[in-house]
Chains A and B, each alone.
Chain A
């Protein structure tokens, strides 16, 4: 939203009553400005302030829900062009196609394969989100049958891809409970399609031949009372899609309402490598939904991982991974330095270990990216945590000795650390710049 915390603050009652859960009215205003709270949380807002904040805080990109219950995915609700400006909110929904020209058995088998596209790695679940049933047959009855089979078997919500209102109506008759995305409306059929989407209470994708037509169509659909809209600029070639996606997001952020909806994109490359690259571009550049025609885990894993990375909240302290780092090819006799995973701290230590010209291991303990003294202050750099890092990092297999060097500022931890880890603890210099002379004098192998 465009309002700053101070602008919102001006609308508040300024009682600091804390009924909203924040400590002051200004804290609440800041939370609203960053999307962490909604104006309605304040029970004492005047009617005028409520109206003003309500319209001003409406998200520039409308949130749209596809699917129902546990299969539901939300797209839209975005507010930035670049993730580092704040964050990307709702990960691009990945959809895999199923054509209604396949036999019933083939449809069932393909849906089963799509259901299997769930990966787990380092505690995170990676998966696709949608099954796109495509009306390639041109036959409404066949389409409805295919949609019904997919709806019964799929562990994901559906997209119904057909521009024939009769086909969509037939399919919705048996799948509307699952709240599929209808894809969709165009200049010729939008009245019928909007009527259907409204009647069945499902979201609708709108396709224009270009952005101008798309904007005017979206406006007409909205004027008919439908708000759950997804935009399709009609482009299928990567460069054109990229340009359209960028333009749609930019206009939406400038509060150009007709383009203030999430988008759907289609990958059309035959070659699966090219298709995944194409999809990668769309995930990085604002697509709400990307539709692909592959069920190969190898194709999708890379794409899903990319999506996970891009939609990670960047508002986290800069940290390095907590693992054993090797400086100058250390061996069994090399010293082991303990520090924290705050990037600035780690790189200072790494540079000074390198400057010592004595190969060594650095083990940055995970302190949520805080520095040595900050982590110690906040109870995040305890002997127990360091001992745990020594045990779980595999450093014990890399060296033949059991001696570890801790930062000089935390000499106070040495006794307890020795006790809980069983390692002999050497207290290093206070500053990492002292490492070269420390190691030459104190480290005997």
Chain B
């Protein structure tokens, strides 16, 4: 919203040119370019050689009335004359916006004429068989013969699968998709294009490129028009990529007076702080716990995931509810946050996450590697062993929440602002609109500021990519944001480590930071 008129990455413009005449012998290309500039408001124009070769005949055969296809790019000041067709052509043409997540890939198919999103689809990233996180995949790409090719093919297969589903459903041709914008973290972008990602994970964490010029779809095997340009949203650093830049665009924080904190509560835990004047970003490496990873009964926020939990003090009776109200299959991130908050409130665990319940209860049992708390008994659903969270898992979750909170505190410290200066918090990522902010503050995951400052934006990354498909201003904003974000390397000094250790407790070692938590 608010990013000006429709100026998509690819569009068709109908032109009626004045014929050359004695005294008006301007060359064909200049004549065409002048008309395009006037009609479409684009700057420099670049015709492909094929277009130029046929230009004189095409123009004359068409009686100087032609439809020109213009393709622009992110970070490129010029437009390409992609095609010239005789007469007025009104056929539909589409653009593809993709969020290449480490775990999930989400695509939007957008009608570039109307600006409407016609279809949205998501799928698991098929790279997961090579490793669950970006690091394992970078290592796989470097240490296996054809590793990089395998990873590139896996993500392409995932995206191409989504393209097929969407085009079949809408009954359109894949060659009618004329432009694509991909937003992914830096490692995902490298793997998507088949660029060596090795040095992203090695000190001092340097990617091959943060800004990558657009490439032809055919050159990477993306199943849309082979000459279509595929644009990757520019990133900031090895661990703050185009997905975050796109998210910042969608959140509109980069052009706001309000001091905003944008958090992607995912495995990498990227966050951005700032507003119209400045932006700082970091990645706190929260780990996969909030997405259900590393937790035996962890689950993404899908049907059957326990999302709300209450534990009665004393009796330790458990009440829960699941996504879609179906029998429980596991527990998602928001449910885990509530479990920790409720177990602490009920006296089952202490501030450090240790099991300290004084009484005897069948809810707490020995599970080999330490004790666990039973949420759902085996007889309730068809789950052998039921659903339980162990002491180690709770500590794992405390480490994740400590990483997020320490990331926030480190950023605030670096710019010298108190938490109260944050005027709004925008939560993004698959973690879900289900998150109970009150309980997240209670365990010390999020800062204790008025709850009405929190909002949830969903998949901001794909939203930002779709905006770039449609608006030149959005594309310029993406570049501007990527160039303006100051990346803070949390490993560069002790600030993060000190904050992390201080945040390993419920809610924190410094209770004055959480005045409303009792």
Asked if A378 and B202 sit within 8 Å, CB to CB, the answer is yes
Compute how far the CA of A9 lies from the CA of B370 in the bound complex, rounded to whole angstroms.
Answer: 51
**How close is B404's CB to chain A, nearest CB, in angstroms?**
16
Chain A residue numbers with a CB within 8 Å of B196 are none
Asked if B494 and A317 sit within 8 Å, CB to CB, the answer is yes
B391 beta carbon closer than 8 Å to chain A: yes
**How close is A370's CB to chain B, nearest CB, in angstroms?**
7
A374 beta carbon closer than 8 Å to chain B: yes
A23 in contact with B487 given A6-B416, A377-B201 (CB within 8 Å):
yes
Compute how far the CA of A435 lies from the CA of B334 in the bound complex, rounded to whole angstroms.
Answer: 30
Compute how far the CA of A344 lies from the CA of B402 in the bound complex, rounded to whole angstroms.
Answer: 14
Chain B residue numbers with a CB within 8 Å of A374 are 285
**How close is B95's CB to chain A, nearest CB, in angstroms?**
29
A317 in contact with B497 given A16-B483, A433-B369 (CB within 8 Å):
yes
B414 beta carbon closer than 8 Å to chain A: yes
Asked if A5 and B203 sit within 8 Å, CB to CB, the answer is no
A16 in contact with B491 given A5-B416, A377-B135 (CB within 8 Å):
no
**How close is A328's CB to chain B, nearest CB, in angstroms?**
20
Which of chain A's residues 293-328 have a Cβ closer than 8 Å to chain B? Answer: 314-318
Task: Provide the B366-391 mask, 1 if CB < 8 A to any CB of A, else 0.
Answer: 00111000000000000000000001
A161 beta carbon closer than 8 Å to chain B: no
Asked if A433 and B202 sit within 8 Å, CB to CB, the answer is no
B452 beta carbon closer than 8 Å to chain A: no
Compute how far the CA of A379 lies from the CA of B200 in the bound complex, rounded to whole angstroms.
Answer: 11
Asked if A27 and B486 sit within 8 Å, CB to CB, the answer is yes
Compute how far the CA of A316 lies from the CA of B494 in the bound complex, rounded to whole angstroms.
Answer: 6
A359 beta carbon closer than 8 Å to chain B: no
A259 beta carbon closer than 8 Å to chain B: no
A379 in contact with B493 given A24-B484, A26-B486 (CB within 8 Å):
no
Chain B residue numbers with a CB within 8 Å of A433 are 369-370, 391-392
Asked if B491 and A370 sit within 8 Å, CB to CB, the answer is yes
Chain B residue numbers with a CB within 8 Å of A260 are none
**How close is A353's CB to chain B, nearest CB, in angstroms?**
15
A242 beta carbon closer than 8 Å to chain B: no
Asked if B392 and A4 sit within 8 Å, CB to CB, the answer is no
Task: Provide the A413-430 mask, 1 if CB < 8 A to any CB of B, else 0.
Answer: 000000000000000010
Compute how far the CA of A423 lies from the CA of B417 in the bound complex, rounded to whole angstroms.
Answer: 52
Compute how far the CA of A347 lies from the CA of B217 in the bound complex, rounded to whole angstroms.
Answer: 52
Compute how far the CA of A24 lies from the CA of B279 in the bound complex, rounded to whole angstroms.
Answer: 10
Compute how far the CA of A290 lies from the CA of B417 in the bound complex, rounded to whole angstroms.
Answer: 40
**Smallest CB-CB separation from B497: which chain A residue?**
A317
A195 beta carbon closer than 8 Å to chain B: no
**How close is B260's CB to chain A, nearest CB, in angstroms?**
15
B415 beta carbon closer than 8 Å to chain A: yes
Chain B residue numbers with a CB within 8 Å of A434 are 368-370, 392
**Smallest CB-CB separation from B131: which chain A residue?**
A412
A6 in contact with B278 given A317-B494, A379-B201, A431-B392 (CB within 8 Å):
yes
Asked if B415 and A5 sit within 8 Å, CB to CB, the answer is yes
Asked if B369 and A26 sit within 8 Å, CB to CB, the answer is no
**Smallest CB-CB separation from A313: which chain B residue?**
B493
**Smallest CB-CB separation from A16: which chain B residue?**
B483
**How close is A16's CB to chain B, nearest CB, in angstroms?**
5
Q: Which one of A30, A314, A317, A369 lies within 8 Å of B486 (CB-CB)?
A: A30
Asked if A378 and B201 sit within 8 Å, CB to CB, the answer is yes
**How close is A296's CB to chain B, nearest CB, in angstroms?**
37
Number of A-B contacts (CB under 8 A): 67
Chain B residue numbers with a CB within 8 Å of A379 are 201-202
**Smallest CB-CB separation from B205: which chain A residue?**
A378
Q: Which one of B278, B285, B494, B497 lies within 8 Å of A26 (CB-CB)?
A: B278
A26 in contact with B491 given A379-B202, A433-B392 (CB within 8 Å):
no
Chain B residue numbers with a CB within 8 Å of A369 are 497
Compute how far the CA of A143 lies from the CA of B370 in the bound complex, rounded to whole angstroms.
Answer: 77
Chain B residue numbers with a CB within 8 Å of A378 are 201-203, 205
A90 beta carbon closer than 8 Å to chain B: no
A437 in contact with B416 given A24-B486, A26-B486, A370-B491 (CB within 8 Å):
no
Which of chain B's residues 474-518 have a Cβ closer than 8 Å to chain A? Answer: 483-487, 491, 493-494, 497, 501
**Smallest CB-CB separation from B210: which chain A residue?**
A23
Chain B residue numbers with a CB within 8 Å of A376 are 135
Compute how far the CA of A377 lies from the CA of B414 in the bound complex, rounded to whole angstroms.
Answer: 25
A437 in contact with B203 given A6-B278, A24-B484, A431-B392 (CB within 8 Å):
no
Interface hub of B237, B278, B485 (most chain A Cβ within 10 A) = B278
Chain A residue numbers with a CB within 8 Å of B497 are 317-318, 369
**How close is A81's CB to chain B, nearest CB, in angstroms?**
18
**Smallest CB-CB separation from B370: which chain A residue?**
A433
Compute how far the CA of A27 lies from the CA of B396 in the bound complex, rounded to whole angstroms.
Answer: 33
B280 beta carbon closer than 8 Å to chain A: yes
**How close is B258's CB to chain A, nearest CB, in angstroms?**
16
Task: Provide the A375-403 mask, 1 if CB < 8 A to any CB of B, else 0.
Answer: 01111000000000000000000000000
Chain A residue numbers with a CB within 8 Å of B370 are 431, 433-434
Chain A residue numbers with a CB within 8 Å of B392 are 431, 433-434
Chain B residue numbers with a CB within 8 Å of A4 are 415-416
Asked if B494 and A314 sit within 8 Å, CB to CB, the answer is yes
Asked if B501 and A344 sit within 8 Å, CB to CB, the answer is yes
Asked if A315 and B369 sit within 8 Å, CB to CB, the answer is no
Compute how far the CA of A243 lies from the CA of B52 in the bound complex, rounded to whole angstroms.
Answer: 85
**Smallest CB-CB separation from B391: which chain A residue?**
A433
Compute how far the CA of A341 lies from the CA of B370 in the bound complex, rounded to whole angstroms.
Answer: 24
**Smallest CB-CB separation from B133: which chain A residue?**
A377
Chain A residue numbers with a CB within 8 Å of B414 are 5, 30
Compute how far the CA of A323 lies from the CA of B237 in the bound complex, rounded to whole angstroms.
Answer: 35
Chain B residue numbers with a CB within 8 Å of A23 are 237, 486-487
Compute how far the CA of A82 lies from the CA of B135 in the bound complex, rounded to whole angstroms.
Answer: 38
Chain A residue numbers with a CB within 8 Å of B279 are 26
Chain B residue numbers with a CB within 8 Å of A316 are 494
Task: Provide the B409-441 mask, 1 if CB < 8 A to any CB of A, else 0.
Answer: 000001111000000000000000000000000
Compute how far the CA of A26 lies from the CA of B280 in the bound complex, rounded to whole angstroms.
Answer: 8
**How close is B128's CB to chain A, nearest CB, in angstroms?**
16
Chain B residue numbers with a CB within 8 Å of A6 are 278, 415-417
Return 18 A-B CB contacts under 8 Å, by A number.
Answer: A4-B415, A4-B416, A5-B415, A23-B487, A24-B485, A26-B486, A30-B414, A314-B494, A317-B497, A318-B494, A318-B497, A344-B501, A378-B202, A378-B205, A429-B369, A431-B392, A433-B392, A434-B392
In addition to A4-B415, A317-B491, A378-B202, 14 A-B residue pairs with Cβ atoms within 8 Å of each other are A4-B416, A5-B414, A23-B237, A26-B278, A27-B487, A317-B497, A378-B205, A429-B369, A431-B392, A433-B391, A434-B368, A434-B369, A434-B370, A437-B369
Residues of B within 8 A of A (CB): 135, 201-203, 205, 237, 278-280, 285, 368-370, 391-392, 396, 414-417, 483-487, 491, 493-494, 497, 501
Question: Which 10 A-B residue pairings sit nearest by Cβ, starting from the closest?
Answer: A434-B369, A4-B416, A26-B486, A377-B135, A315-B493, A431-B392, A24-B486, A433-B370, A27-B486, A26-B278
